[in-house]
Every structure is written in structure tokens, then in C-alpha cells.
Structure 1
Amino acid sequence: MYTPGWQIVFLDDPPRLKPAARLPRRPFQYQRWEKNIFSRGKTHTPVRRTVNICPMHTLSTISSRKSTQPFVHALAWFVYASVIYSANYLANPAIKLGDTVLFLVPYILTFYVSLHLLQVFSRLGTIWTIGGVALFMVASTTAGHAYLFVILPKFGVYVFNPAHPEQFAKDALLGFLLYFSYALLYFFADRNIRRRIAVTDLRHQGLKRELENAKLRELALRTKQENMLQEQAFLRAEINPNFLHNTLNILHAQAQRYSEELATNIGKLSKMMRYSIQTTEEQPGRVTVTRELENLQLLLDIHGLHCKDPKLVLMYIDGKPDGLMVPPLSMITMVENAMKYGDLTDPENPVLISLIMRTNELHFRCRNKVMRRTEIASSTQRGLANLKRRLDISFKDRYTLCNRKDGHFYNVEMIIYN
């Protein structure tokens, strides 16, 4: 049975693909093997999914290593040259440090060229790698012969006796194999370090994703719970107004036996309740100005019962609705606050209601005198905050809503651009 899993693939270990389908050059890649759920028959064909990995943590780690790499290499070669010089100095005190450095130059070049060839040819396969190394060995031997027998003697440094070329060939071969082995060891060690960095970073990213997923699941659960609570609250709010509306209809029928005026006002209150329920269920949260004014008049009629002087509430309307829209209960909310918390005993300062309508624009303003030693109630602020949210939903940035207290008077103004 095939088990899906992860396989780390570095550039030094390329997948055996055709040249046209070779992977792009990246620091490293990971591939996931999965079952092909679209394959026909009972046999499931593994599907190789390649994803490039360039995490910031890995890139920063590799970049920091590259920035310090020349210094570390120079220090390592200095220590190595010091060890070689010390060993030769014990055997021959006449030897100089410069001679040792000049002697090591071709071997150092052998190390770095071998390392570069391993990095290049390892992407092409084993045959290319062996061929490249063999070609480099011949070229380096030729260059080493010219360096040791032509260039160094000009500086007074004689390493081999020209009369014994077999000694040079032996030492050159052993030296090449030694420093090529150093390069090979460094190549695999560096690749292993990069692999460990990649695996560690993948684990960190996996843990980070799991943590983010856990937070998202927690947020989704919390949102679901909040939605359930809101739905329950909405259902309760829907039941209560309907219950009140039905109760008012019953009271209206019973009141007709005793007082026609009482029955009429209960009927008006029932109509307002029905308007409130219907506009809550309608979309997108808009009603015509005409409909809002009809129910506003019902509110004024009901409040007129305890306002003996009709001049205590003055309403001014200018213009025609012509399809203008407002949020439901918007005007009623502002007037109801004025009737509830305003001073309705001063004929000199009545409640002023003003509605001016123009093409695609309306101005609604309500002004009332504040009762003495009475602050603006928190319910008023909540009602205006609720109205503002409904305006945000229905009209977004095409409205203005402001309220202010000027001395003993409280003003609320709403401007809507249809």
C-alpha cells in the first residue's frame, strides 16, 4: 500500500527529468507524493507535486552564512597553512612561511574548483560528474606542472627535482585526490546543513500554520456562537412585537364598547406597531418618505393626547417626496426622543419639526427645549447610534447625522442624499 509523504530535493540532487522539464533553479524544493484520485481502475498512480520553498527564515540563514563564509574560509586556510608550515619547520628550519603558502596555492585552487564542479555537474548526473572531475584532474596536473617547474623556480622555490618526474606525478595525483576529498566532504556537509535548515524551517512553518488554523477554528466557532445568539435574539424580538400587535388589536376591539376615542388611539398604536414589524423584515432597510410621514403623524396624534395646546408641537414641510427614501423609523426615532425628554409645557419654545425636500435630497431637523435638571438620556444616545448604523448600511457615505445641545435646547439634524 502506498503511503503519501514528503521528500526534500536540493539542487544538488535533481530529479531525473528530461532537460526540457528540469526544475527551475531554487535554493531547494520539496515534493509531495499523493494518490491520483482521478486514475481509473483499482490501481492508484502516485502524483508528484513539486512546490518551491524559499522561506524567509531559510533565506536569512543562508544569506548570513554566505556573508561570513569568505572570512571563515580565509581563517581556516590560515590555520591549515600554519599547521603545514609548523610540521615542515620541525623537519627543515630553513623553510619559509611564504614557500608554504606558494606551495598550497594550487591545492587551494584544486579544492575550490572541485567544489564548484561538484555543485555544477551533480545536477547533470553521475556520468557528467565523473567526466568533469577526470578532465579537471588532467587540466590541474598540467597547470600544476607549469606552476611548480616554471613559475615557482622564478621565485627561488624548488619543490621537485626535474630529473624525477615520476615523483611529481605521484605527489600531484595524491594531492589532487586529497584536496578533492576535502571538497567532496565540504560539499556533502554543506548540503546536509542546508537540508537540516530546510526541514527545521518546514517544521516551524507547519507549527505556525497549525496555530493559525487553530485560531481560525476558534474564531469560526466564536462567530457561529455569536450568530446563534443573534438569531435567538432576533426570534425573541420578532415574537414580542407580533404579540404586542395582536394584543393591541384585541384591546382595540374591546375599547370600542366603552370609548371610541380610546379605540381610535389604540388602533393608531397598532398601525405603528405593524409598520415597525413590516419595515424590520423588508430589505434593503429603506422606506418612502410618504410612508414614514404617515406613521410620524400617528405618533404625533398619540402624543397629542397629553398636549392640550396644539402649538406645543409645530411641524413644517417643504417640497414633495418624489420617491425620496429614508431608513424606517428614522424620523419617528428623533421625534419620539424629543416628545419623551423635551419640555412640552412651554408654548414659547415648542418642539419644532422641519422637513425640507429637494431633488434627491432631504433635510430633517428636530429641535426641543430640554427639561430643567435633565441630562440627555442614554437611551436617546443609543437610539441615535442605532439610527447611524442603519444609515451606514442603507446610505453609506451619502448622509449626515449630527446632534448638539445649545444651552437649553437640543437639536438633531439628518441630511440624506438619494
Structure 2
Amino acid sequence: MKINDKTLLLSKKSEWLVISIFWLIYTFFDYTGNGLIRSVQGKTFFHLPDLFSITMYFVQIFTIFIIYTIVAPKFLKKINWKTIAISLILSFATFIFIRYVIEQVLTDILFDKINYFEGTPLSFYIYDNLHYGTFIVFSSLFIWMAVHLIKTLQKTNSIEKEKKEAEIKFLKAQINPHFLFNTLNNIYSLVSINSDQSLKAIENLSAIMRFTTYETHKESIEIEQEINYIKQYLALEQIRFGEKFFVKTAFDIQNYNTLIPPYILSPLVENAIKHGSVRESENPIVIDLNTTKDFLEISVKNKINQHQKDQEKGIGLMNLKQRLNHYFENQYQFEIQNDYITFTIYLKFPLNAEN
């Protein structure tokens, strides 16, 4: 999956800005510290740096650059004791080599000066530079690991977000075929008997398909739109079943303009109609929907139709559960009670949440 680098918080420019700020802060405190030492010794706080104080700053800059661009990216992408040891050895070697080239070779050529006397033992030179290089080496490696960790977390979050978006698009794509399997059977039944209600059924289906085509692809819709969809759906089923269609609805909505994820309530109703018994006046399907300022609650209760067998039973509810996880994570209640006679679904989720 391709990640757009422009979406990352830390661009290359930002990385180098962080490094530059770090080096400037270090230089400031280094100069200030030396100035305080001179003040204690009775000397002036401000002074022009000598040659090897200036060259040390260049050594540090080049060391940071090489560690950050070559050593750390090469060996610390997988952090373990081996890669840490190799990175430290190479980083210190880099500092020592750069300092030798600048202060023992270049300054000798340009200014006829060297920092370490001729004949300085190699062991002492390495030991002394381990001391001077410790802060810069560890700081450079730490900054790279911190930036690398931030970028890794950002990429992980970006991948997870794209994965969720892909999943939700897939789940929404499953909604329309699932719905069509139900409604087209209804239309077929009406047309086959030349019912005058077939035109009304087609009108209802048209309204429903407008909803599933244009609204379900949005991130959020008004509650009123979802309720209108449910009413159209029930009207279509009423035409199909005629007088022997018993459904009780109770809608108590505080604000019909409140936004909710699309197609989040309808699957409960569709499931009840598809798998429940709708022809018994003493056991009607009961749909109870209400909202408060902060929450929406819906319960759908139906008597189970023992004569209807459907191999695709539960597809709508499984999709709904996955979508609820996507939209609300663990901030919702989704309960199913099934005693093999009555099937009840209860759903509660927060309103005005960031969907």
C-alpha cells in the first residue's frame, strides 16, 4: 500500500531543521559554558574561538551528517544488540576519522598547525576522541531513532487508516447486493400477479435506491434520511404482504438533523423483516428508536420465522458489526437475544461523535 509522504508530519526539511536546532543549541551551551569557566578564572566571558574550537564544530557537523544519513539508516532499522554495537563503533570511528582529517591534515596544510603533537600514541588518540565524541555520537543516534520511530508510527497509522477506509468501502459495497436480493423478489412477486401496486412498489424502490446509491457512500447523514429510508422500505414490504403485515414503529427523535453514519439502523429492520414473522397480529415486529442529546438507542424485536431458511442469514448483521467497530470502536452497545422463538437486537451508540 503506497503511503503519500506529503501526509507525514516530519518531512526531510523538518528533520534537518530539528538537527540544525539541536546543533545550534549545543553550540550555544558549549560556548556559554566555556565563557562561564573563563569568568570564574578572571578572564573575559566573550572571546573569539581559537582555531581548534572552530574546527571541532565542523567535526561535529560532518559527524552528525554522516551518522544521520549513512550509519543509522543502514544499521538501525532493526534495533538489536548487534546493530547497536556496530552503529556505535562506526559512529565513533567516523568522529575520529573526520577529526583526524580536519585537525591533523587540513589545518597542517592550511595553517601549519595540528591539534595533537606528533608522536601521540594511537591508543591515546582513540581514547581521547572517544571522550570528545561521546555526546555527539549518542545524540545523533538518539535523534535518528526518535525521528525514525515517529515516522514509523505515522506510516503505521496511515496504513491503518487506509485499511479501515478500504474495509468500509468493501462493506458498503456488500450492502446494495444484499438489499437488492430482498427487494427485487418483492417487485417480481407484484409484477407476476399484475398488481396495481407494482407501480407504487417501483416508486418506493426508486427512492430506496437513490438512498443506497448516493447517501451510503457519505461519511455521515442526517437521522431523518435514514428514517425515511426505513419508512420507504416498510412501505415496500407492506405492498408485498398486504393486510397481513404487522409492524409497530415508535420514533422519538430529539433532532432529526443530527448526523449519524449512513445505513447504520436499516440493517436491523431489514434483518427482522427478512427472518421474522410479519403475518401474526399478536406477534408484530416492534421497532423502537429514540435519541437523547448524547445517544441513539434502537431495539428491534421479531418472532423468528421457523419456516424460512436462508443460507445468507446474518450477512447484514456481520457487516453492521464491522462498521460499528470502525465508527465507534468500543463506545457502543450491540446486544442480541435469541431464545429461538423471539429475536431481539439492541443498539446504542454516541451521537455527535467524530465518525
Give the TM-score normalised by the residue count of structure 2.
Answer: 0.48
Give the TM-score normalised by the residue count of structure 1.
Answer: 0.42
The answer to which structure has the higher strand fraction is: 1
Q: Name which structure has the greater RCO, CA cutoff 8 Å, separation 6+.
A: 2
Question: Greater CA radius of gyration, 1 or 2?
Answer: 1
